């Protein structure tokens, strides 16, 4: 079976090249062709010896993921559905952010050189964020997350994680007719719990950070977790990047029902792990994500409890996320004024708090909406139905 070179970080690719009888600098050249230039064919790699290209063509591939569909939102957000085989498909989302001179609705930019309007639009692209999936489905089964309601099929490989970035970066460059980097930030916030796929995640992160790969800053690569405490400690040692923690509740009693993993790693343990992580983190704060659910976790009392929990304990920033409803959740989005009032309590108490703007919700690309297609091996639908019958609130 052919070896997929997207599965290797630079050290892994160097070891592979050594097995072929090649020196390390050949691995670096190959790595640059794959990730910096987006080459998918060894014949394109003209500075590699023909003998090496022939070896590679006989036993290796650069294997992208088949694109099952692409959708573009009115605000410029783009969502791809990637086929990962076995009846499973995962989603990745590109979110462009523009400066003041940019398109009012964030429409897809015309190519550079397409005229003054196109050049002004390109120049106004302040940041391009790619949200990547790490699993086909998710075993954590958070109540407000569409992915979790689909259940879990399998972990993605390192190559499948990186293929989402490889495809998005080089497809967007081609469309914009530019050789400059389009994706400036990567967030592991797509389908799945990244820290439950640790062995594949870390090599993928290393490729994102490597100057011979995508050259992203540690501050611009974010891993989101629902609180897998032991793996947070390992990530701190192995590859510390920015960390976002899905909190969603100020008490264990409430969080147990929203984030089932809390029963294994309760809030006190989670916050202690956050403080340990900050010793090596590229930022001096942890981002806490808080999905606003009407009548569940959005009262003034909940805001005061959250303030008391976090203030002075963990240097942090709060992201309040409008809930994106889906039929199976049984949950409702908090009214905008309730969200603003919640934020004021936290801000007045001294916590940096932002209300996340919903992007791509017209194509189901917003936070919590990514679902893809999952052949569930965990029978989550039956388990959730049983829980809702026993505890309808």
CATH 3.20.20.70 in the chain is located at: 67-390
Q: Which two tokens stand for residue 151?
A: 């259940």
CA distance 185 to 216: 7
Q: What pLDDT is stored for residue 120 in this prediction?
A: 43
Which pLDDT tens digit goes with each residue over 4-58?
999 999 999 999 999 999 999 999 999 999 999 999 999 999 999 999 999 999 8
Which pLDDT tens digit goes with each residue over 152-183?
889 999 999 999 999 999 999 998 888 899 99
Which CATH fold would you assign to the domain 67-390?
Answer: TIM Barrel (3.20.20)
Q: Phi, psi (5° rounding) for residue 48? A: -90, 145
Please count the other Cβ atoms lying within 10 Å of the Cβ belonging to residue 279.
8
228 vs 141: which has the higher pLDDT: 228
Q: Of 155, 157, 164, give the one whose Cα is nearest residue 132.
A: 164
Exactly one of 91, 169, 193, 289 is catalytic; name it.
91
CATH 1.10.150.530 in the chain is located at: 3-61
Q: What pLDDT is stored for residue 147 in this prediction?
A: 76
The average pLDDT across 272-288 equals 98
CA 378 vs. chain centroid, Å, equals 23
367 as an active site residue: the answer is yes
91 as an active site residue: the answer is yes
DSSP state of 265: S
CA distance 266 to 276: 16
- What is the DSSP pairing of strand 135-137 with strand 152-155? antiparallel
Q: Which two tokens stand for residue 241?
A: 């990047």
Exactly one of 17, 131, 142, 367 is catalytic; name it.
367
- Whether the CA torsion 263, 299, 187, 141 is positive or negative: it is positive
- With left for phi above 0 and alpha for psi between -120 and 50, is residue 350 left, alpha or beta? left
What count of residues does the chain have? 393
Cβ-proximal residues to 299 (8 Å cutoff; 6+ apart), any chain: none
CATH classification of 3-61 is 3.40.630.30, yes or no?
no
């Amino acid at each position: 079976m052919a070896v997929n070179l997207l599965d290797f970080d630079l050290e892994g690719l160097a070891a592979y090249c050594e097995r072929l009888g090649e020196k390390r600098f050949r691995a670096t050249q190959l790595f640059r062709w794959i990730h910096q230039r987006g080459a998918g064919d060894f014949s394109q790699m003209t500075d590699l010896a023909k003998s090496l290209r022939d070896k590679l063509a006989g036993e290796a591939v650069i294997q992208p993921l088949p694109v099952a569909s692409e959708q573009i939102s009115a605000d410029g957000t783009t969502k791809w559905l990637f086929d990962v085989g076995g009846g499973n498909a995962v989603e990745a989302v590109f979110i462009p952010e523009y400066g003041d001179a940019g398109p009012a609705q964030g429409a897809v930019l015309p190519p550079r050189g397409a005229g003054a309007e196109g050049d002004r639009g390109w120049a106004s692209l302040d940041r391009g964020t790619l949200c990547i999936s790490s699993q086909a489905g998710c075993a954590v089964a958070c109540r407000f997350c569409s992915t979790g309601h689909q259940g879990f099929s399998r972990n993605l490989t390192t190559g499948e994680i990186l293929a989402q970035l490889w495809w998005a970066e080089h497809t967007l460059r081609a469309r914009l007719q530019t050789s400059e980097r389009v994706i400036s930030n990567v967030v592991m916030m797509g389908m799945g719990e990244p820290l439950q796929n640790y062995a594949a995640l870390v090599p993928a992160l290393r490729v994102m950070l490597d100057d011979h790969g995508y050259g992203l800053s540690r501050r611009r690569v974010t891993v989101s977790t629902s609180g897998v405490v032991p793996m947070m400690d390992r990530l701190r040692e192995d590859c510390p990047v920015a960390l976002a923690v899905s909190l969603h509740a100020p008490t264990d009693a409430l969080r147990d029902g929203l984030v089932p993993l809390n029963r294994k790693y309760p809030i006190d343990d989670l916050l202690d792990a956050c403080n340990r992580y900050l010793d090596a983190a590229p930022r001096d704060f942890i981002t806490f994500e808080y999905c606003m659910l009407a009548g569940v976790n959005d009262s003034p009392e909940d805001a005061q409890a959250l303030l008391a929990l976090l203030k002075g304990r963990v240097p942090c920033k709060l992201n309040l996320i409008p809930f994106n409803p889906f039929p199976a959740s049984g949950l409702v989005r908090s009214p905008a004024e309730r969200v603003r009032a919640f934020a004021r309590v936290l801000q007045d108490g001294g916590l940096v708090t932002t209300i996340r703007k919903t992007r791509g919700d017209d194509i189901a690309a917003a936070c919590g909406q990514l679902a893809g297609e999952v052949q569930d091996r965990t029978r989550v639908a039956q388990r959730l139905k049983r829980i809702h019958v026993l505890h309808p609130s």
